[in-house]
Amino acid sequence: MSLKKFIQQENQMAVLFGNGRLPTYPENTALLTAEQKKQLANNLLGALSPENLCCDGELRGARLRAKANLLNKAKSDLEALGQRVEWDFA
């Protein structure tokens, strides 16, 4: 469920700022391609970075915890689909 919400947010951003350049994803997670799963994993890692997670220190308390919970659940959902979600420094 959290992955679907994350996908909806990513699709909204693509519509608002992408002008056709940013990818959109199917909300039915069974239809995600391997490349889309990989891109979503990268997007999740970016969203979980400390600067993005807390909006450069502007987000605190319950709102920060709610955002972190959503992103971590989306990460678990994506991993359940077989996509590894971790930093790769190789």
Structure tokens at 68: 């972190």
pTM of the model: 0.87
Q: Is pLDDT of 72 > 90?
A: yes
Structural domain boundaries of the chain?
Answer: 47-84
Structure tokens at 16: 């608002």
Q: How confident is the model at residue 19 (pLDDT cuts 50, 70, 90)?
A: low
Instruction: Please give the average per-residue pLDDT across 39-44, as a whole number.
Output: 94
CA atoms within 13 A on the CB side of 75: 18
Instruction: State the pLDDT at residue 14.
Output: 87
Structure tokens at 77: 């959902």
Q: How confident is the model at residue 35 (pLDDT cuts 50, 70, 90)?
A: very high
> Would you say 36 and 78 are in contact if contact means Cβ atoms under 8 Å apart?
no
Long-range pairs for 6-9: beta carbons < 8 A, 24 or more residues apart: 6/40, 6/43, 6/44, 6/47, 6/70, 6/71, 6/74, 7/40
